[in-house]
Amino acid sequence: MARTPLIAGNWKLNLDHLEATHTVQKLAWLLRDAKHDFTKVEAAVMASFTSLRSVQTLIDADKLEIKYGAQDISEHASGAYTGEVSGSQLAKLGCDYAVVGHSERREYHGESDATVAAKAKAAFDNGIVPIVCVGEGLDIRKAGDQVSYTLAQVEGSLAGIPAEQAKDVVIAYEPVWAIGTGEVATPADAQEVCGAIRGKLAELYSPELAAGVRVLYGGSVKSSSIAQLMAEPDVDGGLVGGASLDPEEFAKIVRFLE
Ligand code: PEP
């Protein structure tokens, strides 16, 4: 089954709403100048909550084909959850995606697989595609347990998600030791785990469903490394942190086919 590659930028805690709109505008100009075909490679940015309304306004006004989303989503629909942002609020802001279970949220906010699954469900229930992040730390990699560890995260993070929703999920394999370190996984390392994730999806759901799900690699992706990673059969795109803050570099990553 043909899977449209997705290059998604994760801006993390960077860019105020003015910087965010400038970055989207510049990215759009670069991709327009290059006559980028968004049906061949999808491009998206994951902005801070405070920037989403401005990004939405710009993208709608200029009819840009760049997609966007949030970096987190509440598992709750409404109520006494101070500081949380719900799926329906994000849907009203036109979010296509929401990142859930990023390793930084798992580590600094104690998010468990069950929380990640609840957030993924909240996204789906509001028409937002969750980008579910999984991946092992250095100790697990050194012990050679990266596949079993990551597959357990996949299973736990999709618990209770029915096939009708899971068919649209995006999984991002992000080995924690590669995030923000400049140390990108080798294409073979990425393929080993991304392929195993697809196998797990086949086991949890069906081979047909697994064949349609996009599995991204994330961890120090740059324009110099993306093409080799994308040459692997089970790598369907990238979740890009630091390099997505520079529109020129990010546009080059989106244009990896050139
Ligand atoms: C990320 O934050 O998801 C990420 C992969 O970051 P970086 O590309 O900077 O390693």
Quick one: pLDDT band at residue 2, thresholds 50, 70, 90?
A: confident
Q: Is 242 close to ligand 1, i.e. is its CB under 6 Å away?
A: yes
Q: Over range 166-194, report the average pLDDT.
A: 97
The reply to whether ipTM tops 0.95 is yes
- Which helix or strand (DSSP H or E) is residue 46 part of? strand 42-47
Distance CA 212, CA 3 (A): 6
Best CA proximity match to 47, nearest among 4, 97, 84: 97
> Over the stretch 44-92, which tens digit does the pLDDT of each residue have?
999 999 999 999 999 999 999 999 999 999 999 999 999 999 999 999 9
Q: Model-level pTM? A: 0.98
Give yes or no for residue 131 CB within 6 A of ligand 1: no
Quick check: 1 pLDDT over 80? no
102 is catalytic: yes
> What six digits make up the tokens of 33?
């100048």
Domains in the chain (CATH in brackets) are 6-254 (3.20.20.70)
Residue 52 alpha carbon to ligand 1 centre in Å: 20
- Residue 36 catalytic? no
Ligand 1: does its nearest atom lie under 6 Å from the Cβ of 104?
A: no
